[in-house]
Amino acid sequence: MKKYKKIVSILPLAQGRFKVLYIFNLFIILCLFSRLVKLQVFNASDLQKKARLIQSSKTTSLKKRRSIVDRNNRLIAYDKILYKLWAHPKYFNFPSDAIQGVRSIEEVAKKLSPILDMKDEILLEKFNNKNSGIKLLDKISEEKAKKIKNLQISGLDLFKYSQRYYPQGELFSSLVGFVNDENKGSAGLELHLDNQIKVFNKSNLIIRGRDGTPLPDNSAPGDFISDYKSLVLTIDSKLQKASFNALSKQVSKWKAKKGFAIVMDVNNGQILSLVSVPSYDPNEFWQYDPELFKGWYSQDLFEPGSTFKPINLALALEEKVIQKDGLVEDSGEINVGGWTLSNWDKKGNGYIDYPKVLQVSSNVGMVKIMKNLDPIIYWDWLKSLGINKKLETDLYESTAGQLLRKDLFVNQSIEPAVASYGKGFSISPLKLVQLHAALANGGYEVTPHVTTTFKKRVNKDQKKQFFSREVSKTVLEWMESVVDKGSGSGAKIEGYRIAGKTGTSQKALNGSYTSKKVCSFVATLPVNDPKYVVLVVVDEPSKSYAYGSTVAVPIAKEIIESLIVIEKIPPKIKGNGMIVKKP
């Protein structure tokens, strides 16, 4: 039987129904359009901000500081990345838990204690019944922090920070200083060269795509590169340790207030070692007297005493008021302007040559020598040497020396007389080093410094010359006789030509001298090719028979012996290959 398809007639849409559909569609389009206008026009800036928050992450730079290393790249100071662990018990939740689940502090402590190497009970005590914001521990290593992160426990937050460490402890503290709890330089180079040590990394935004891939942005080249530069010192750690040990031993033996020792290259001013005793551990600076944080070798002044006699002899030679082969009568005492001045032992030495004046450290001989020099010229020389000026250096802020007013110096005969043997004016130990370096290098001014990047603001072609090369050579040879035959004989080392001068000066208080002493010794070596100057200053040794020869010379000898080994300084060899033995 044949089937027939049903034919349905198409009737036109009712006018009323068409209008309803039309109006409904128009309404939908208008709603969508108004929504689009609202998003694109009125909410555009807000949406852009939200998108940036989702797509970008802010990198906040740590307050980091550059490492400090010695000339051989041995670490002196560095930043170590550590973490602080905070807990919020009301949010404690393990990865497999339901979102609303909250774990107990006992459960969390059980997982944390093996990582932190702490007993559960000790860890639980730290919560103190608080619900949030509990600082559990700081100084957590990166290794432990990674293990804590891997636990994925909600409610535990790790805060990253950097802490300064000084692996060589008190050995460099008087020079390098330390940073405080806020990682700010508070003493020594850490303070004085703060801008060179701080790392100026800025915070940046990293733009990422949906899958986390970083997208191109406007970051400058190097914005996200770590700063691996170090502050390199001219110091040798081995020599620093040898100097520190030698100085500490003698300061303790003589029950002295403090001591200082320095080794410097006379040709360029580079400091190879600089130590001060007593010292402190910069890793625990808060446990020490703040007085120890001071760089007294550049900030405190002292009367150099007999260690200044070679400088005065150089001035006399420059002005030609004495001749190399001249003699002076040392009667043991001399009257100047109603004042009686005498030698340290009250004894005379008769007619002596100028090397002998240094060997026996004759005060009377020096007074008579410098009496030949016009006081006006003498004062001008002292000013020209920079006695009353600050040193331009990369160390602590230096203190300018004290020099009497010119009119007083010129019109009071006692002033140039006492200045002839290092009294009546004062300088820092660092200034004394600079002057003796000039005697050693042919008369030229060099500036003591400890960083390899230090550059003095003068043209090398215009370097100031204090003394002529001939005068410097003559005085250095006279100083050599002090080590060969005089008060510095304790520093003699077979095969090496060493020049030196001892000093023992009384300390002044309220305008009068006391029984307290400053014992010092300055040495230059090798005389045949001057390269190094060594200065030792020991303040207020409290035992009897404390002199430069007994207190400071033994320290200098130990330092020089270490210097010879470390710097591989060869002995003086005769033409026949034999080591020169001094007579």
The more confident residue out of 182 and 362 is 362
Q: Which domain holds residue 375?
A: 237-566
The SS3 of residue 378 is: helix
Over residues 511-555, the pLDDT tens digits come to: 677 889 999 999 999 999 999 999 999 999 999 999 999 999 999
Least confident window among 326-335, 352-361, 424-433, 504-513? 504-513
Secondary structure (DSSP) of 256-315: -SEEEEEEEETTT-BEEEEEEES---GGGGGGS-GGGGS-HHHH--B--GGGGHHHHHHH
Residue 279: CATH number of its domain: 3.40.710.10
Q: 152: domain CATH number?
A: 3.90.1310.10
Lowest mean pLDDT among 10-24, 219-233, 402-416: 219-233
3-state SS of the chain: helix, strand, coil percent to 5?
40, 20, 40
pLDDT number for residue 13:
64
| Band (61; pLDDT cuts 50, 70, 90) | low
Q: Are 231 and 75 in contact (CB under 8 A)?
A: no
257 and 122, same structural domain?
Answer: no
Q: What local confidence, expressed as pLDDT, does residue 209 receive? A: 52
In this structure, the answer to whether residues 246 and 159 fall within a common structural domain is: no
Total number of domains in the chain: 2
Same domain as 411, residue 495: yes
Q: Is 302 domain-assigned? A: yes
Q: Is residue 543 part of a domain?
A: yes
Mean pLDDT of 133-158: 84
Please report the pLDDT score of residue 52 as a whole number. 57
- Mean pLDDT throughout 228-240? 92
> Does position 176 have pLDDT exceeding 90, yes or no?
yes
User: For residue 142, what pLDDT is reported?
Assistant: 86
Choosing from 67, 237, 298, 306, the catalytic residue is 306
Residue 376 confidence (pLDDT): 97
**pLDDT higher than threshold 50 for residue 287:** yes
Residue (of 467, 399, 393, 460) closest to 428 by Cα position: 399
Least confident stretch, 151-155, 217-221, 465-469, 477-481: 217-221
Q: Is the pLDDT of residue 215 over 60?
A: no
pLDDT of residue 138: 83
Domain edge (last residue) among 124, 142, 165? 165
99-124 residue pLDDT tens: 777 888 888 888 888 888 888 777 77
Q: Residue 108 has what pLDDT? A: 82
Is 252 found in the same domain as 136? Answer: no
| CA 169 – CA 173 distance, rounded (Å) | 7
Mean pLDDT across 495-507: 94
Q: What is the pLDDT of residue 102?
A: 81
Give burial (CB, 10 Å; 0-12/13-18/19+) of 495: middle
* 562 catalytic per annotation: no
Measuring CA to CA, how many Å separate 134 from each of 86, 114, 443?
5, 19, 66
What pLDDT does 54 receive?
52
Burial of 75 (0-12, 13-18, 19+ CB in 10 A): middle
